[in-house]
């Protein structure tokens, strides 16, 4: 049997010691830039695909691989895989939900604090001999503590719950919106209250995105959404770049419609220098903190993700149904 791997070979090598990789399985490493035609030319008869979450697995490729049984995302995201094409062809599509929830929650809070404390700007000021000037500026402007904020979580899955859990220690008021309201017991456990979306957008000091990319959520943060936010509010996105209309966010930052944005993810990836949020004028540039989509990339998270992939491959080889199926096969 053969498996196509659209993941850096160094990652496979690093984490294989924690995994039970099936014997007699041929590993075929291909780069993420490999075209569908090239894949079919060299590995058309592969049984499995192990893909980085940002690798597209197209509706053309899937039906042209007659032995394909399982497509597995390395991480949580699977929006780049044509799950309907896989379903039509009886192919499992699986992901690794929840394994990096704590890691992404830490990144979410780091971006909140980094924006509130103007971390990047302050670092630059100290390095350029302007420590006192920076200190006095922030004292006069005022630094808001996280415990004095009302944080709104859009989506209330595993990552949002882990974020809420960590915010308890700051004394932060936390509200959430989800298409389906959670149970009263769950709300009490995480010290959160449900709030309709329109109200959450207009009332919260920090809005953090925790939803998958769907037709409904794509560019949900648009001009209208941003105009309804408080002028002093911060936007945090550790989910997917496709959730945000980046041109609209750029204009909101330039015009001072919102106070800032902390972004662990942009679209498309790999990020290019033409991205509108990388071309902000100097006065708006300081209102944004970027991180290179590393929220869920801790060693612990990757160890669990790779274990999940190889365990599911072994299940399929043994004629068993894999876990964490996302396309209902």
Residue 329 forms part of a structural domain: no
Are 83 and 124 members of one domain? Answer: no
Are 136 and 175 members of one domain? Answer: yes
Q: Are 161 and 188 in contact (CB under 8 A)?
A: no
Residue 8 forms part of a structural domain: yes
Task: Quote the percentage of the chain above a pLDDT of 70.
Answer: 100
Are 149 and 261 members of one domain? Answer: yes
Are 153 and 57 members of one domain? Answer: no
Give catalytic residues, as residue numbers: 240, 269, 293
Is residue 138 pLDDT above 70, yes or no?
yes
Are 118 and 53 members of one domain? Answer: no
Q: Are 208 and 153 in contact (CB under 8 A)?
A: yes
- Looking at the 3D structure of the chain, how many domains does it have? 2
Residue 284 forms part of a structural domain: yes
pLDDT digits (tens, 9 = 90+) for 37-81: 999 999 999 999 999 998 999 999 999 999 999 999 999 889 999
Residue 313 forms part of a structural domain: yes
Residue 323 forms part of a structural domain: no
Are 38 and 180 members of one domain? Answer: no
Are 203 and 274 members of one domain? Answer: yes
Tell me the average pLDDT of the chain.
Answer: 97
pLDDT digits (tens, 9 = 90+) for 74-109: 998 899 999 999 999 999 999 999 999 999 999 999
Residue 325 forms part of a structural domain: no
CATH of the domain at 88: 3.40.50.720
3-state secondary structure of 295: coil
Q: What is the pTM of this model?
A: 0.87
Residue 327 forms part of a structural domain: no
pLDDT digits (tens, 9 = 90+) for 194-242: 999 999 999 999 999 999 999 999 999 999 999 999 999 999 999 999 9
Are 52 and 27 members of one domain? Answer: yes
Range of the domain at 59: 2-99+299-317
Task: Quote the percentage of the chain above a pLDDT of 90.
Answer: 97
Are 176 and 229 members of one domain? Answer: yes
pLDDT for residue 329: 63
pLDDT digits (tens, 9 = 90+) for 269-322: 989 999 999 999 988 999 999 999 999 999 999 999 999 999 999 999 999 999
Give me the residues paired with residue 154 across strands.
177, 209
Residue 76 forms part of a structural domain: yes
N-terminal to C-terminal alpha carbon distance within the chain? 21
Are 16 and 160 members of one domain? Answer: no
Are 247 and 258 members of one domain? Answer: yes
Q: Are 174 and 191 in contact (CB under 8 A)?
A: yes
With vertex at residue 102, the alpha carbon angle to CA 99 and CA 107, rounded to the nearest 5 degrees, is 120
pLDDT for residue 283: 85
Are 154 and 71 members of one domain? Answer: no
pLDDT for residue 143: 97
Strand order in the sheet with 70-73: 26-29, 2-6, 48-51, 70-73, 92-94
pLDDT for residue 315: 98
């Amino acid at each position: 049997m053969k498996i196509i791997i659209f993941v850096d070979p160094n990652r496979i090598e690093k984490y294989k010691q924690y995994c039970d990789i099936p014997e007699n399985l041929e590993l075929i490493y291909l780069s993420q830039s490999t075209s569908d035609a090239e894949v079919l030319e060299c590995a058309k008869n592969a049984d499995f695909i192990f893909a980085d979450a940002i690798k597209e697995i197209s509706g053309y490729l899937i039906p042209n691989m007659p032995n394909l049984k399982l497509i597995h995302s390395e991480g949580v995201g699977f929006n780049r895989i044509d799950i309907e094409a896989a379903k039509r062809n009886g192919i499992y599509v699986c992901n690794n939900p929840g394994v990096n929830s704590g890691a992404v929650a830490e990144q979410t809070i780091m971006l909140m604090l980094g924006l509130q404390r103007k971390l990047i700007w302050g670092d630059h000021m100290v390095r350029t001999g302007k420590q006192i000037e920076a200190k006095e500026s922030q004292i006069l402007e005022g630094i808001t503590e996280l415990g004095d904020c009302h944080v709104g979580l859009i989506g209330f899955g595993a990552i949002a719950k882990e974020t809420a859990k960590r915010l308890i220690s700051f004394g932060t008021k936390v509200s959430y919106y989800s298409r389906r309201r959670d149970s009263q017991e769950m709300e009490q456990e995480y010290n959160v209250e449900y709030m309709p979306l329109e109200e959450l957008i207009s009332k919260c000091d920090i809005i953090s995105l925790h939803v998958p990319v769907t037709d409904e959520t794509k560019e949900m943060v648009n001009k209208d959404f941003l105009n309804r936010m408080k002028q002093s509010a911060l936007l945090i996105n550790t989910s997917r770049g496709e959730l945000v209309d980046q041109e609209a966010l750029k204009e909101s930052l330039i015009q001072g419609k919102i106070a800032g944005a902390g972004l662990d993810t942009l679209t498309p990836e790999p990020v290019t220098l033409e991205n509108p949020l990388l071309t902000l004028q100097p006065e708006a540039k300081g209102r944004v903190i970027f991180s290179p989509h590393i929220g869920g990339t801790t060693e612990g998270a990757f160890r669990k993700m790779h274990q999940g992939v190889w365990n599911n491959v072994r299940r399929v080889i043994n004629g068993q149904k894999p876990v964490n199926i996302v396309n209902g096969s």
